[in-house]
Amino acid sequence: SQPFLPARRSVSERGFTTADPITPNGERPFVRVAAVDELSRNGDRVHVQLLDSDGRPRHVSLINHHGDVFAVDSLCYHAGGPLGAGDIEDVGGFACLSCPWHLYKVTLQTGEKLYRSTTFADDGVSLVPAGIKSVGKRQRTHSTEKRGDGWYVRLDLAGDFESDKFANKKIPGIAGARVVRV
């Protein structure tokens, strides 16, 4: 395994970097966070702490699930638990992280919180399963891109998400994350 080395920044004649460009329309840059082989197998994970220009951290976990690499805020929206370290479970056909603290199920792809709903049976007393439901997106997800020299992530920070309130906290299981300056 090759050691991880951050991508070098080289400024183009247009004034933005080529290794992790800030696009003319103001999108955040893709930043190299891992070597290709660190996320090559199902279940591989890399936890990073992305520092903005002011030094504020954001904990993000990259997770390989059956060949697709997803990036989510590492800390659970509900109570700040180490979601990025949670088990991956199938919930109604959706790959979900299960938060180790309270077992909340959050989809890898969209950040939605799913739950198994119930309803009253015809007798009006007994509860019966009523399928999988979503309470909506609660956990922020981010864009990933595989390049020849490694895995890149771009923070997607549009809108407000409940996971934002825990994005920079120090939580056991995630606190030892690699630090990368954005």
| Per-residue pLDDT tens over the stretch 100-155 | 999 999 999 999 999 999 999 999 999 999 999 999 999 999 999 999 999 999 99
DSSP code, position 38: G
Section 79-96 average pLDDT: 94
Cβ distance 86 to 96 under 8 Å?
no
More confident residue, 7 or 15: 7
The yes-or-no verdict on residue 56 having pLDDT over 90 is no
Nearest to 140 by CA among 112, 176, 175: 112
